[in-house]
Amino acid sequence: VEVRSGDGYWGWPEHAPYDGIIVTAAAPHVPQPLVDQLKPGARLVIPVGGGFYAQELVYIEKG
């Protein structure tokens, strides 16, 4: 397991592809760079939303 702290919008391309990515800070939308860095069949979990509006926990499995 490797952990990175900081702005995760662009992911961590130098270590891609990943079996899974868990994001713990909400984004206004799912960043495409994170999806692009997943292996086929890998999963991404990310809270989406912001401001004073509700957030949704989004689960993506790359086909």
Dump pLDDT digits (tens) for 11-51: 999 999 999 999 988 999 999 999 999 999 999 999 999 87
Instruction: Provide the 8-state DSSP code for 53.
Output: S
pLDDT band at 3 (very low <50, low <70, confident <90, very high): confident
Q: Does the pTM of the predicted model rise above 0.75? A: yes
What is the distance of C-alpha 34 from the center of its chain? 5
Peptide bond into 13 cis (omega under 30): no
Residue-level pLDDT at 50: 80
Query: Which residue ranges make up each domain of the chain?
Result: 13-61
